Amino acid sequence: MKLLVIGSGGREHALAWRLARSPRVHKVYVAPGNGGTEEGDLLQNVPLTSAEELADFVVREGVSLTVVGPEAPLAAGVVDVFRARGLKIFGPTRAAAQLESSKDYAKAFMVRHGIPTARYETFTDPTKAHAYIDEQGAPIVIKADGLAAGKGVVVAADLEQAHAAVDAMLGDGSLGQAGARVVIEECLVGEEASFIVMVDGRNVLALATSQDHKRLLDGDAGPNTGGMGAYSPAPIITPELHHRIMREIILPTVQGMARDGIPYTGFLYAGLMIAPGDDPDRAIKTLEFNCRMGDPETQPIMMRVKSDLLDALEHAVEGTLDQADIVWDRRTALGVVLAAHNYPGTPRSGDVIAPLPADTEDCAIFHAGTRLEDGQLKTSGGRVLCVTALGDSVRMARERAYTAVDAVQFDGRQYRTDIGWRALRPSQQKTKP
Ligand code: AMP
Ligand code: GLY
């Protein structure tokens, strides 16, 4: 069987790598792909990005099933285009992708369906937004309504930052349409976790839990990034919290979308804030929805899939996810992102990457911002590689990953040396499911 994965990041490489291990798959095309998704006979890049061209390609090559990685093609309606042509694709429609592509839509949806989230108001008028900030006080969170490639959220520690964020978003149009409306919300405290599920419109199959590290530098300092590393499972999500998240957040979301006439299909990612402490009733609130898997969360999650992921995907597109299961490796997987010089500003491209160590049974290097130029691998984006390893404990996965990181060389590489620190706290070791 031939499959197509749309996207070019580390998430897509990990997804294609896992799918290529299905005994029923003999080719996974990746469009447009990266320097790592060219490998061997099983993975092949396709230099196409438009939905119509991709649909033509799928028909021409006899591709059985397409999976979409990133949010941009989903928000642009690639699933609608494929479905209109009777092609099998896993992802949300353009309307359903609004859960990610419009923060205002997502917040109004959550309020309407009783899904716990931070208190908020939406503004288009800067004067009213400034007045609301003065009334609420700081800390406070300012979010651009639309997709802003990770640049649309400001967690303002004081009023000055909050007002400046409103001016930047509503005032000078620096985020274009994405910033034409802002959501201003209560600042939540606690620990974040990523909860990703597969949805077929009605049924839900949860993936393994994960946590990522959004800040550039050790100790969660420095600017926000797309994510500098991740691990799975997230020890904070005990079986009790897992059950509550399904009951209080995931199932009401899927049922709410169906009731609103926009059934949700695809991966659904709930970014959660779990209140501090160990009270089993502590608040769990939804910070955001993404209409896709996380990057880099997908890399460790895919390392832990032991069963045939294609089975689950087929059930997902047929609407029979209630009959699907995924067997998870009980070990921890941990991924360390190596980023290019000057990431997350304007990353430098074109640095030569020295030959990479070969993947092993328990360590794989997923590519993101890489390209092959005359047989030589070079950097071509902000996040370049994600070195991902399995281990019997967080500590062992981490040691294995960092040993491989040491063997990866390119000029200007940046990475954090403390990925997984939260999961290594003594309190977390006890609660690990
Ligand atoms: P979002 O794109 O909505 O996930 O926001 C990006 C990051 O901003 C989140 O991962 C959090 O670290 C932070 N954040 C978003 N909303 C809030 C909130 N209401 N309170 C505290 N931090 C937040
Ligand atoms: N790692 C966070 C995200 O994919 O949105």
Give all strands (DSSP E) within 187-282, no chain letters: 191-200, 204-206, 211-212, 215-217, 221-224, 229-232, 265-274
User: Ligand 2 pocket: which of 212, 288, 302 to mutate (most atoms <8 Å of CB)?
Assistant: 212
Q: What is the share, in percent, of the chain residues with pLDDT greater than 70?
A: 95
By alpha-carbon position, which residue is closest to atom 4 of ligand 2?
Answer: 294
User: Ligand 2 pocket: which of 151, 194, 224 to mutate (most atoms <8 Å of CB)?
Assistant: 194
For residue range 212-248, list pLDDT tens digits in order.
999 999 999 998 899 999 999 999 999 999 999 999 9
Determine which helix (DSSP H) or strand (DSSP E) holds 407, and give its type and residue range: none
Whether 2 shows a pLDDT value over 70: the answer reads yes
**Mean pLDDT (whole number) for 314-320:** 98
Distance in Å, CA 190 to ligand 1 centroid = 11
Distance in Å, CA 294 to ligand 2 centroid = 4
What are the C-alpha distances in Å from 57 to residues 4, 24, 50, 176, 205? 10, 21, 11, 33, 30
**Mean pLDDT (whole number) for 110-130:** 95
Please choose, from the candidates 213, 209, 197, 269, the residue with its C-alpha nearest in 3D space to the C-alpha of residue 233.
Answer: 209
By alpha-carbon position, which residue is closest to atom 2 of ligand 2?
Answer: 294
CATH class of 125-180: alpha beta
SS3 content of the chain, % helix, strand, coil (to 5): 30, 25, 40
The average confidence (pLDDT) of the chain is 94
- In the chain, domain spans: 2-93, 125-180
For residue range 83-109, list pLDDT tens digits in order.
999 999 999 999 999 999 999 999 999
Architecture of domain 2-93: 3-Layer(aba) Sandwich (3.40)
Distance in Å, CA 271 to ligand 1 centroid = 8
- Three-state DSSP class for residue 29: strand
User: Ligand 2 pocket: which of 297, 336, 388 to mutate (most atoms <8 Å of CB)?
Assistant: 297
394: amino acid identity, one letter = V
| Res. 433 pLDDT band, cuts 50 70 90 | very low
| Res. 207 pLDDT band, cuts 50 70 90 | very high
Assessment of whether the complete model's pTM goes beyond 0.75: yes
- Interatomic CA distance for residues 326 and 311, integer angstroms: 9
Q: Is 294 in the pocket of ligand 2 (CB under 6 A)?
A: yes
Q: What is the pLDDT of residue 432?
A: 40
Give the ligand whose atoms come closest to the C-alpha of residue 213: 2
> How would DSSP label each residue in 268-286?
EEEEEEE-SS--TT--EEE
Q: Is 359 in the pocket of ligand 1 (CB under 6 A)?
A: no
Bridge partner list, 211: 231
Q: What is the pLDDT of residue 351?
A: 98
